[in-house]
Amino acid sequence: MSNFAPYDKPEWGSDVMVDVLRKLGLRYVSLNPGSSFRGLHDSLVNYGGDEITMIEVPHEKLALGVAHGYAKVTGEPMAVILHDLVGLLHGTMGVYYSYIDRVPVVILGGSGPGAHERRRPNIDWIHSANVQGQAVRPFTKWDHEPRSLASVPTVLGRAYRIAVEEPRGPVYVALDAALQEDRLEAPVPLDDLSRIATPPSRLAPEPSALAELARELCTASRPVMVLGYAGRDPASFDVLVELAELVGIGAVETHWRLNFPNRHPLNVTGSDALEDTDCVLFVDTKDMGKPTQKLDSTTRTISSRVPDGARVLDLGFGDVGISSWSEDYAEALPADLRVTADTAVALPQLLELCRGLVAADSLIRAAEREKRKADLAARHDAVWQGWADRAAEVADSSPVSTARLAAEVWEVVRSHDWVLTAGTAAEWALRSWDFDQPHRHPGKQLGTATQIGISLGVALAHKGTGRLVVDLQPDGDLMFDVGALWVAAAYELPLLTVMFNNRAYYNDWEHQERLARHRGTPVERAGIGMAISDPEPDFATIAKGFGWWAEGPITDPAEVRAAVQRAADHVLATGKPALVDVVCQPK
């Protein structure tokens, strides 16, 4: 046993910083080590002890990815430390994705020293910037550089509050290296920290506006709701189901969060319900266009799926926190009524208003609602039958079809309390698994080079729960951050990774094929610069080299389930990660 005992009285500036982080309740900090925060690092280890668990990662973008996934599950921020300017620049993509996905992250950066006479020649100069936070200011909620140790508690407390206040997002605070390394000359009081850091109450709707929205919804003949980020509050999952069943509303998922059970008969995602609606309600949806528009990818021609004359209602944050730089808010679409509110507050109120309106309706209206619900259920069943038919057509393909991959993994995980991390195997998991509880899926990934990092954070958040955490992992994504495998092994994350390995950056390959057909250029040359082959990475061998249990590559669909079962058994028995490499069809 170690005889180490952390010292219990702050002696250095960085000790005070650690005291602040502890009082803020931060449980984890992810980092790739750097000299600009050597003082803070020492204090976390030798003054803070193990109260804040340090997660070491091989790249700053992964540090953000882990915090991103953790926050999506828990709603709580992790701390992330980025080394000076260069570490910040490495981590910028992770900062940006946490910003557009509305997750709270408290990002700390070592900086300077700001006093030039205390800088080391060359290295402290080329790694420093004048106002370091400028590099991420367009896609953080707030940034700051405290100039004195006495101001650190207030700045960090405010940063924490801003990060967790809805709509949530990342904040960045640069901590001067000299402030970290200065010996403490006088106590720094922390008594008022909780009064600074506690977030305000949630944003409630204007009562008359919400009442009008309820009337619009309940008097519509064919209402449909498009669901965005409401599922960040797990309680909204059941509220949305009750609202849909009460009023007879079809639910269309965007999958940015898990908002609605996918097998529920009123879930009409993938159907033509939007083309037939007379009223669309957007629920905490930033991008109103993507789920309601048809796109010709070749010509970039867009047309609306919503009929002319349909009423458009919007309930959510609207323009609260909108960026002047990032256009993640997407195209501005016309709406007949916009109600600004946090849906965690507004949805239960909307449900109560609709209860009153429905109770006052005639028997004729009640019969119409039941007929509408039956119609929506028929659309739901037709979509699911179509997916089943498509899956059956390619069930015996080798390499393994994506539909078969998702189905075989489902047969293994369905008997456990499972969680799907970020990837959905080209949405086939959403078409075959049963997402019956809000914790099943924190929301989909945001593109290549985001999935493995988020998956690590999701697994960290569920560590110790006994849940089987499943990552349907694309090969192109893992190629960006293969060192992430070390993190899962080092911190014994309960992660079952099944490779969705089509040996290509296939999303872009599809674009090249479309363009080739449109331009008349050779389609067979579309794969140049897209394939991950010659050589094909041996992901099982790579994973074993990082300490994982691993098996593969597998090309025979009949062998997938048994291999996944062996991997799942390992994860459940040991709490440690396992990988199965399955070679798949492109999509």
Q: Please write the tens of the pLDDT for every residue from 269-292.
A: 999 999 999 999 999 999 998 998
CA 453 from centre of chain = 10
Helix H, strand E, coil C: the string for 498-564 is EEEECCECHHHHHHHHHHHHHHCCCHHHCCCCCECCCCCCCHHHHHHHCCCEEEEEECCHHHHHHHH
Domains of the chain: 13-197 (3.40.50.970), 207-385 (3.40.50.1220), 394-583 (3.40.50.970)
Query: Which of 71, 59, 58, 75 has its CA nearest to residue 98?
Result: 71
Residue 323: both structure tokens together = 């960026």
- Per the CB < 8 A criterion, the answer to whether 286 and 253 are in contact is no
Residues lower than pLDDT 70 in the chain? 1-7, 506-507, 509, 587
- Per the CB < 8 A criterion, the answer to whether 83 and 58 are in contact is no
- CA–CA distance, 31 with 42 (Å, rounded to integer): 13
The total of other beta-carbon atoms located within 10 Å of residue 414's CB is: 10
Query: Which of 123, 91, 111 has its CA nearest to residue 17?
Result: 111
- Per the CB < 8 A criterion, the answer to whether 577 and 493 are in contact is yes
Q: Please write the tens of the pLDDT for every residue from 443-455.
A: 999 988 899 999 9
Q: Model's pTM, two decimal places?
A: 0.95
CA 73 from centre of chain = 8
Angstrom CA distances, 79 to 25, 71, 170, 332, 468, stand at 10, 11, 10, 34, 25
- CA–CA distance, 564 with 31 (Å, rounded to integer): 32
- Per the CB < 8 A criterion, the answer to whether 560 and 405 are in contact is yes
Residue 369: both structure tokens together = 């609602």
In the prediction, which pLDDT does 300 show?
Answer: 81
- Per the CB < 8 A criterion, the answer to whether 509 and 526 are in contact is yes
In the prediction, which pLDDT does 304 show?
Answer: 87
> Strand, helix or coil at 289?
coil
Q: Is 270 left (phi over 0), alpha (psi -120 to 50) or beta?
A: left
Residue 229: both structure tokens together = 């980020």
Count of residues in the chain: 587
- CA–CA distance, 322 with 319 (Å, rounded to integer): 5
In the prediction, which pLDDT does 4 show?
Answer: 61
Q: With the C-alpha atoms ordered 473, 477, 483, 487, is the resulting torsion angle positive or negative?
A: negative
In the prediction, which pLDDT does 3 show?
Answer: 58
